[in-house]
Structures are given as structure tokens and as C-alpha cells.
Amino acid sequence: IRAPLQAHANPTSNWTARVLEILHIPNMMEQDVPNMPLDYYTCQFKKSKLERFLGSDNHNDFFEDTHRHRILWEILTTTTYGKKKRAEIGIERLIDENGFVAAFPLHDGPYESSHLDVSPEELNKRQVLYKYWARWGVWYKYQPLDHIREYFGEKIGIYFAWLGFYTAWLLPASIVGVLVFLYGFVTFNDNTPANEVCASNQDYRMCPVCDEEIGCEYWFLSDVCLFVRISYLFDHPGTVFYAVFVSFWAVSFLEYWKRKNASLAHHWDCLNFEEEEERPRPDYAARATDVKENPITGINEPYFDPRKRLPRVLSGVAAIMIMMLLVLIFIVAVIMYRVLISIPLFENKSLRPKASTIASMSAAVVNLVIIMTLGRVYEKLALKLTQWEMHRTQTEFEDQLTFKVFIFQFVNFYSSIIYVAFFKGKFVGYPGHYNTFFGLRSEECNNGGCLIELAQQLGVIMIGKQIINNAQEIIVPKLKGVWHRFQTKLNKTIQRSRSEDDYELIENEGLFQEYLEMVLQFGFITIFVAAFPLAPLFALLNNWVEIRLDAHKFVCETRRPVAERAQDIGVWFIILESLAQLAVISNAFLIAFTSEFLPKLVYKYQYQWSLVGYTNFTLAVSPNNTLRDTCRYRDFRDLDGNHTMFYWKLLTVKLAFVIVFEHVVFGICKLIDILVPDVPENLELKIKRERYLAKQALADTDTIMMMARRNEIEEEDLELKNGDDASGPSQA
């Protein structure tokens, strides 16, 4: 516990507030939240030095409520109620064994004041948070982070600080994304290849989308005019710029979050916080088969032999692999559905212009339902597996659970998108030598390219997931609350205690799901942003809602959690850094191998800068005697079905682009990392000042007296020396 030494100015003003103040622009996001917690220089608390700390004469308010909660929770979790050798210790074990039904800190009364004329300063802490944070009416206001931390602790405070910071950084990414999308609209009619397709009438007779034996017919390229035009909105030169921009944006966001995190951690006195030696988890203690002395504490503790745990861990890995295989099986099923539904749609001439869109969107919806279902099933399975693996501490348990769930959800949410982005249309073959999969011809991209299908897939999954999650966050807590109140059956006719009122609220489930949802969203808006520049905008809109939903849940619907300390967002930051690096590689390959940017660029330099004739150039002629009639198909091949020289030249350019793109972007990102220090310069000065005050405050009295006496002696010697110097010339 750290205690205050000296008060100083509160540094929590937002950077946007400072910018608006300089520009003399009214700040509609600012709000005057009452009872603002003070900020102090602090140091480690020592009872023997109590009188040297600020406010030590006020014993009732010297320690914060969250400090008292942690101290009480420490006592409850370390008190022995049975035999130590059997780890019959602590309230958590008693709750697991149904000795108690729950243990939680109390809220500061109701979240709404019963008096309409009460002044803001008279509101309790919960009411302040509701009025200035958890209500929908303040969705556009700054979050009162100091009040959140004061009420819920640093761990929850850091989460909401990160969520707000991330949401603010989405604003510039959204603005640039909208501008890039609008650029596609502005230059919509200047797209020469699309104009050629629409004006071709019956010039290009295209090969059937499936085998002639099953009834597929020839069609004309002009039939998909609308689809080709719309695809330009997602595949134009602006998307290349945006992919580079978002790569730099992601790295800059993480770098500046480190600075913000350091400032908050210092401001909240948890800059160098490390968890003390953790006790065994109650579940671990209950299931452990042996007892062994802890080498640090010297106390006999429950022990589970690592050699016995290894088979369990391997079984967990096998279960993860099986679930991932199940995801891939469902992806194959969705691909087959898309192929089968495309055939009748394409054969219907009136539906042909929209066939690809209908097939892609309907398959994406089916895929979303499968993804959400598998995700829920696996999260429950991952929890059971992690419990079965017998991890000793809560930190080990949470890290393993995070790893399992994130790896699976990464495969679950992104695998179908990765297929469309990097594999669809790459292994089709050519007339007479088509590649098949389960008897069906491999999917090919439409003449508008695969990027628009990727945008459709990404839009349905990302936006659909956000809508479903927000609906769940609104509905599920209310349903849980109704069910919990039905089970408790507390008497409402008599006056109840605060503990009974709070017990009727649902249990707080922590931050795991909140972080997971945001990290997956970060992956959507960075890894595949070249295909969907509007992704950051939808993420921004979602997060404005998400902040208030989470705030309302914590303040109004759940029991108050035990305040936990934390200095950062933990393992989630490592995952975010990994996603930012993966985004650079992904966008390089998207631009090179999925977008039409490089084929058009090479054609411009080699043949025609205006792209006249590009459509005809990209269409090969079917080899002789392979189909009933001669037709065209999209590829760079000659009449024998061999790749042309242009194909190999283009492949070389694509590989070179990937290498140059990655090296340039990674190089500049590294430069940003070097130029932006993790700790702000003014914060380093505050830390030094705090250390100096701590050294002064905690110095022993004898040491202070010795230093004072030494200073007096030095001053006397200096006076004598000055006196001698002054008398010297007169004697001469």
C-alpha cells in the first residue's frame, strides 16, 4: 500500500481538451464531475512513519475504500478454517464447497438518488458514476477515470482507460477510411475496365461456372456489369494508401498507449506493481493429491505432480486441435454451400448480376451463426479443460485460458476470411483441366475480383458479431438478474440490508470477455483493412455503445467486484502487438495477390496508361476441343493453357512488392518505436521528485539529525574560512 506525502496538480486532463482550449473551441466532451479524487506524491506505507504521511490524523479516511476491501479480502482468503495440509483455507474455498453462497464488497448504496434536489457533491460514489458515466445521456462525454479507479480499483480502471483511448484513436482511422471510400465514389465513372465490361454487350462469351454436363450455360461478361462497378469501391489505388496508413496507425496507437499507460500507472500508484507470491487456487487445493513445502513461504501447500499434469495438458492441446479441425470442416461446408447456391443463381439471367453478392452474403450469414455457436461451445470447453489441467495460481490459470480461447477464436473468426482473401480463385485450373473438390469445381473470383467478396464477408461477420454481442450485453444480464432473483427469493415486503440488495445483483464475471471482444475487433480493422476501409468506422460506432453498456453493467447490474491492482492490460498487449505485425504481412499479400492494383499497374507501364483494353487482356481463350464452344475465362494463359510471360513477370512484381512493403513499413514502425519513448519526459521528472520526497519522509530521525549537524559544522567552517580570507589583506 502506498500512502500520500504531498498533494500536487491532477494530471488527468485529456489531450483533446488541451488542443480545443488552445484553439478556443468549446469542448462539449468536458463535464464537471464532483468530488474529484486528489493526486499525491506517494511512497510505500510504513506504520512506524505514520505521522509523516499526509492526512495521518484522519484515521477514518486515510485509507481508500479499495485499500480496505483488499485488506479485508486478504484476511478472508488467508484465514484457516480447517486443516492446513488439506488447504482448508480462505473464503474462496468455502464458497466452492457451498459453505457460503457469495462474498463481495458492498456498493455505496443505490445508484439513483431518491431526492431530486440533492447537490452533486452529496451524491455517493456509485451515484456519481451513474450520473456522469453509466447513463446513455453522457455517451459523448469523457470518462471520469479517477472516479472509476477509486470505486472499482486499478484493474477495471485500466480497462476503461484503454477502451476509451482505443476508441479515441479509432476516430482518425475512421475519417481517413471514409475519405478513401468516398474517393472510390468520386472516381467511380473513371474506372475504364468497368466501363469496358458494361459496354461489351455480347463481345465476351464466358465459360460456364460449372460443368456443362450438369446444365451450366455460357454467359456474357456484360451480365455482371453492376458487380464489377461496385467492386471498384473496395479495390482502387486509395486502398493501398489506407493499408499503409493503418499499419502506421496501429503501431503509433500501441506506442502512445504505452505512454498513457505509464502516466496512469504512476498517477494511480501502481507503476511498479507486481503480484506478491500467489496462493494456490481453491479448485487446485481441493483437487491436489499431495502436499509439499513452498520453498518461498516454508508452508506446506497442496501439490500436484507436474508429471501427472503433462498428460492433461497434452489432452487439452488435442482437444483444441479437434475443435480447430471442426471449424475447418464447417468452413468447407460453407464453401460447398456457396458453390451449390451460386449455380442456380447464375443460371437465372435476371439474378446473374447479383448472383455472387447473394451467394457470398448468405454464406457469410450462415458462417456467422456457426462461428458464434462454436465460440460459445468452445469457451465453456476451454474453461473445463483449463480447470482440469490443474494450474496452481490464478495468474497461470488466466494466462492459459486466455491463450486457449484466443487461439481458437482467431481460427474461428478469421479462417473463412483468410480463405476468401488468399486462397479463393487461386487453384481453379482452366477449361478442360479444372480442379475439383468433393466433385465440385473449385471456387473462382468474379471478374470484379475477390476483394469485394472479402469486404462482404468481413462486413457481415464483424458487424454481425458486434450487433449480437451488444444485444447479448443488454438482454443476458437482465435475464440472469430475473433468474437469480427468482432463485434467491428474498423477502421484498420487509426492509432489507444493503448486503441483501447487492446479493440480488448478478455476479461480476470480470474483464476476460470484454478484452477478447475488443482484441478480435482490433484484428478485423487491421489485418484485413485493405479490403474494407469502413471497418474502423463501424468499430468506432460499436465502441461508443460498448463503453456505456459496460459502464451500466458494472454500476447497475452486477455486484461490486473486489478491487484488484494492475499496472497494464497484461497479456492482451502482447496479443495486440502480434496482431499489428501480422496486419503488415496480411495487407502486403492482400494488395499483391488479391487486389487488382498490381496487375493494372504493370499493364499501365507495359501497354496502356489509360487501361484501355485491360479487360480483354485479362481474359484468356479456352483451349481447343475442351468445351462445346470457344469461350473466355479470367487468367493469363495461352491457347494451350500455359501461363503467359506476363503472368511470370506479374508474379515477380507481386513478390517484390510484398518484400519492399514489409521492409519499408516494418522499418518505419521500428523508427516510430525508437522515437516515441515509452515514458513521457515530464513523468520521469515526477517519478524522481516522488523518490526524493519518499527518501526524505522515510529517513530515520537520527539520520536527519546527523545530516543537520553535519550541515551546521560545514557552515561554521565556511564562516571561519571567510573570516580568515577577509582579515588577510589588512594584516599585510
Q: What is the DSSP string of 7-41?
A: EE------HHHHHHHHTT---TT----SSPPPEEE
SS3 4: strand
Calpha distance 2→98 (Å, rounded): 36
Tens-digit pLDDT profile for residues 350-370: 776 677 778 888 888 888 889
In the numeric block, which cell numbers belong to residue 544?
A: 461508443
Q: What is the DSSP string of 164-215?
A: HHHHHHHHHHHHHHHHHHHHHHHTGGG-HHHHHHHH-TTS-EEPPSS-GGGT
Whether residue 419 lies inside any domain: the answer is yes
Burial per residue of 213-247, b for 16 or more beta-carbon CB atoms within 10 angstroms, e otherwise: eeebebbbbbbbbbbbbbbbbbbbebbbebbbbbb
Is residue 646 packed enough to be buried (19+ CB in 10 Å), middle (13-18) or exposed (0-12)? Answer: middle
Phi-psi region of 424 (alpha: psi -120 to 50; beta: other; left: phi over 0): beta
Whether residue 457 lies inside any domain: the answer is yes
Q: How does DSSP classify residue 281?
A: P
In the numeric block, which cell numbers belong to residue 268?
A: 494511480
Res 544: pLDDT: 93
Tens-digit pLDDT profile for residues 336-352: 888 888 777 777 777 76
Res 75: pLDDT: 86
Whether residue 577 lies inside any domain: the answer is yes
Q: What is the DSSP string of 375-415?
A: HHHHHHHHHHHHHHTT-SSHHHHHHHHHHHHHHHHHHHHHH
Whether residue 724 lies inside any domain: the answer is no
| DSSP tally for the chain: helices H, then strands E | 23, 12
Q: What is the DSSP string of 96-133?
A: HTTS-S---PPPSS-SS-S-TT--GGGS-HHHHHIIII
Whether residue 718 lies inside any domain: the answer is no
Q: Domain of residue 672: give its range.
A: 154-679
Whether residue 659 lies inside any domain: the answer is yes
pLDDT, mean of each 10-residue run, the chain (732 residues): 71 68 79 79 75 75 83 83 68 83 89 79 89 89 90 93 94 94 88 88 85 76 85 87 91 91 86 67 73 71 78 85 88 84 75 75 88 87 84 82 88 88 85 80 73 86 90 87 78 74 87 92 91 93 93 92 88 92 91 89 90 90 85 89 92 94 90 83 77 68 49 57 48 34
| Cβ pair 412, 371 in contact under 8 A | yes
Whether residue 15 lies inside any domain: the answer is no
Calpha distance 267→683 (Å, rounded): 9
CA dihedral of residues 220, 226, 229, 235 (deg, nearest 10): -90
Calpha distance 130→122 (Å, rounded): 14
Whether residue 125 lies inside any domain: the answer is no
Number of domain units in the chain:
1
